[in-house]
Structure 1
Amino acid sequence: MTTKIAFIGFGGVGQSLAELLQRKKEQLKNSYELEPVVVAVTDVMKGSIYHSEGLDISKLLEVVKETGNVEDYPQEPGMVKGWDSFTTIANSNADVIVEVTYTDVETGQPAIDHIRTAFKYKKSVVTTNKGPVALAYNELNELAKENGVYWGFEGTVMSGTPALRMPVTTLAGNEIKEIKGILNGTTNYILTEMEKGKTYQEALEKAKSLGYAEADPTSDVEGYDARYKTAILSNYLMGVPIDAHDIYCKGISDMTMDTVKEASANNKKWKLLSRITKENDGTVTASVKPELIDNDDPLAGVSGATNAILYECDLSGPILLTGAGAGLVETGYSLLIDIIHFHRQNALTKIGGG
């Protein structure tokens, strides 16, 4: 079954997904009867191209690598170039919009408006942008339901590690009482290096040199990145809407080597933890802050840039999930997970005559 895809944004993550679609082409067809066809790409920096019959992914990636502009793709009959993102969403024949634009996490834009537009035109969306899920989950979720479309955002919390779908599917029937996790690999890497004797600044510089930290690491080290992910977990898994800006947030920038050493001497470790607790009255409290945990805590052994999340369940007890929380291939894979899931739902709907 053909699934037509339009990319809104075509940076590293979008190109990683395109490469996966090409590399996994036979497996997707044989295992899932899924035949993805890329019909459109629009990117603020790289231009725009659309063909209703589909584009050659290999040629598309080659053009972007060589010239940086998708509009240098060889002209073919029926091809349209120059559409902006909203025109592409509205006028293309895509079944799924892959929304991977550069988005301001403080406002969620332009991703929120792209998703609104897609749902209005009854097109499904998969995204790795945190802003729309952290800031406009209820509105967008209702819009998706009203228009009978799919909205996937698996990659917004732990990249390709299924921190959202796993508890919903394999832990079904449990009530999750508390979620706590290491949701930012940069800060966990820094704290791990400090345990080895580095100062905060030395550990940060090493994280930058390895690509774990941005040139401006504020979002990571002050806990803002983890705060948005915490809001997503509350909105989606706890079913309790919480504004990211209402979550107490403290980062690790004032952490000293002496503080870390003292913890080690007492068989403890510092971790930047996201914590969401469901109270008896159904309300939720949430925070992001450095916490001192015992060495036998399941999260204490999570080192380096790895992410981890612990679900406290009423029936199964504590369940720990660990994995990569970033990386282009991993994030591209999270989008592929969502496209496969969309395809399965679509196939079931057609079988059921819906």
Structure 2
Amino acid sequence: MTNYNIALIGFGGVNRAVAELIASKNDLWERDLGFRLNIVAVSDLHLGSVISPNGLDAKTLLAANFTKGGFGQLSGGSPEANNEMIIKKAPADIIVEATFTNPNDGEPAVSHCEWAIQSGKHVVTTNKGPVAFAAKRLKALAEAKGVCFEYEGSVMSGTPVIRLADTALAGAELQGFEGILNGTSNFVLGRMESGKLFAEAVKEAQELGYAEADPTADVEGFDVRLKVVILANELLGASLTPDDVSCEGISDLSGLDIENAAKSDSRWKLIGAAKRNADGSVTGSVAPKLLPRDNPLAGVNGATNAVSFLTELLGTVTVTGPGAGRIETAYALLSDIIAIHAAKTANNKEAA
């Protein structure tokens, strides 16, 4: 049995869910997966930071209901966040990065990942920023340092869309994809179909926790643009940056547009897409698209995500699943750790 020490960067919904899973599932993981996880450090902008080489009890972290700077009450704790120190100095094997995504440059998460890799630590992240802006550089650095950089949850939360396409569709000759990659915008469009105005639908999404106080990244397509970059570069071998992907959101769609779509037995969806062109280049786009109801993406409702892979040998293969959620996203981080463990186990067998 292997024990992995982990440091949590950010202690919001996702990494709190990771702690919840550790508190309840470690024995199961030991039996079924061959490893246990031990939290040795946490850093959070609101709560501060704490290091404990012997480990922090996950149940205590969850039950304490800390106020601002609350980690300062713990042995080895400080009321101030210190992400760089925690990443570089904590006795962690794996850095679990789950901080806010900056859609303009991916910072500070890009630096978080780089510090970890430079320190010889594996990284698992749900953050789109480091992958969209710096995946090539970070993967090369990870290979040079002999560690893993994993990011399955950066596109569709717990739905394993990247690994599925990499493995199950290997050899199917992927030509492109199109998908509903933002649950908030999909929810808003659905509510507009029921008669709500755009502003009313956005407010409802905020009240339900689907949308942030500033919903711009969701409704204007910026979130989807990052995900298009990730999938295009990862699966189509492109070298796109966010600036290379044209982007249009849903804020200009009117109630009349929605009504006319229904009359023509169609639905508006915000679609992120990329395709391989005849000359081998790859182009990406984000825009509202009118889909006939027999399109598999047209039937995707609420905050669900879906992506249709366009292949030469299989035709269109559509994957649908949760694109958000605390536990679902925490599962993506677990799947990354499972991948790290599998690679370590394989390397140990080769060495033997």
TM-score range, shorter chain: over 0.9
Q: In structure 1, the residue corresponding to 2:324 is in which secondary structure?
A: coil
How far is the alpha carbon of 1:83 from its aligned partner?
A: 7.7
- Report what 1:15 is aligned to: 16
Query: How has the CA–CA distance of structure 1 residues 83 and 255 changed in structure 2, closer, same or farther, with 3 Å as cutoff?
Result: closer
How far is the alpha carbon of 1:42 from its aligned partner?
A: 1.5
How far is the alpha carbon of 1:80 from its aligned partner?
A: 6.4
Q: In structure 1, the residue corresponding to 2:233 is in which secondary structure?
A: helix
Q: CA RMSD in A?
A: 1.6
Deviation string 1:313-340 (CA, Å, 9 cap, x unpaired) is: 1222211111111111111111111111
Give the partner amino acid of 1:215: A
Q: Could you tell me whether the CA contact under 8 Å between 1:60 and 1:70 is conserved in 2?
A: no
Deviation string 1:175-222 (CA, Å, 9 cap, x unpaired) is: 210110000111111111222222222222222221212221111111
- Report what 1:43 is aligned to: 44
Does residue 107 (structure 1) correspond to residue 105 (structure 2)? The answer is yes
Does residue 70 (structure 1) correspond to residue 68 (structure 2)? The answer is no
1:172 to 166, 170, 173: 170
**Long gaps (5+) in structure 2:** none
CA–CA distance in 2 between the matches of 1:67 and 1:208?
A: 24
Query: How has the CA–CA distance of structure 1 residues 103 and 223 changed in structure 2, closer, same or farther, with 3 Å as cutoff?
Result: closer
Query: How has the CA–CA distance of structure 1 residues 122 and 66 changed in structure 2, closer, same or farther, with 3 Å as cutoff?
Result: closer
CA–CA distance in 2 between the matches of 1:338 and 1:25?
A: 16
CA–CA distance in 2 between the matches of 1:163 and 1:59?
A: 34
Q: Could you tell me whether the CA contact under 8 Å between 2:186 and 2:302 is conserved in 1?
A: yes
Of all paired residues, the percent bearing the same amino acid is 43
CA–CA distance in 1 between the matches of 2:147 and 2:109?
A: 17
Query: How has the CA–CA distance of structure 1 residues 193 and 345 changed in structure 2, closer, same or farther, with 3 Å as cutoff?
Result: same
Does residue 146 (structure 1) correspond to residue 147 (structure 2)? The answer is no
How far is the alpha carbon of 1:70 from its aligned partner?
A: 2.2
Q: Could you tell me whether the CA contact under 8 Å between 1:9 and 1:101 is conserved in 2?
A: yes
Q: Could you tell me whether the CA contact under 8 Å between 2:186 and 2:269 is conserved in 1?
A: yes
CA–CA distance in 2 between the matches of 1:263 and 1:98?
A: 43
Pairing 1:113-152 to 2, within 5 Å after superposition: 113-152=111-150
Pairing 1:164-313 to 2, within 5 Å after superposition: 164-313=162-311
CA–CA distance in 2 between the matches of 1:267 and 1:52?
A: 60
Give the partner amino acid of 1:57: A
Give the partner amino acid of 2:189: L
- Report what 2:322 is aligned to: 324
Q: In structure 2, the residue corresponding to 1:41 is in which secondary structure?
A: strand
- Report what 1:25 is aligned to: 26
**Long gaps (5+) in structure 1:** none
TM-score (norm 2): 0.95
CA–CA distance in 2 between the matches of 1:314 and 1:221?
A: 32
Pairing 1:80-91 to 2, within 5 Å after superposition: 84-91=82-89
2:338 to 334, 337, 340: 340
Q: Could you tell me whether the CA contact under 8 Å between 2:226 and 2:242 is conserved in 1?
A: yes
Q: In structure 2, the residue corresponding to 1:271 is in which secondary structure?
A: strand
CA–CA distance in 2 between the matches of 1:136 and 1:343?
A: 24
Deviation string 1:55-79 (CA, Å, 9 cap, x unpaired) is: 211112223x144522323x3xxx5
How far is the alpha carbon of 1:167 from its aligned partner?
A: 0.8
The more displaced of 291-300 and 199-208 is 199-208
Q: In structure 2, the residue corresponding to 1:122 is in which secondary structure?
A: coil
Q: In structure 1, the residue corresponding to 2:267 is in which secondary structure?
A: strand
Q: In structure 2, the residue corresponding to 1:187 is in which secondary structure?
A: helix
Deviation string 1:287-342 (CA, Å, 9 cap, x unpaired) is: 00001111111111111111110011122221111111111111111111111111
Give the partner amino acid of 1:22: A
CA–CA distance in 1 between the matches of 2:48 and 2:206?
A: 30
How far is the alpha carbon of 1:45 from its aligned partner?
A: 2.1
Q: Could you tell me whether the CA contact under 8 Å between 1:86 and 1:114 is conserved in 2?
A: yes
Q: Could you tell me whether the CA contact under 8 Å between 2:47 and 2:67 is conserved in 1?
A: no
CA–CA distance in 1 between the matches of 2:323 and 2:350?
A: 37
Give the partner amino acid of 1:289: A
Q: In structure 2, the residue corresponding to 1:242 is in which secondary structure?
A: coil
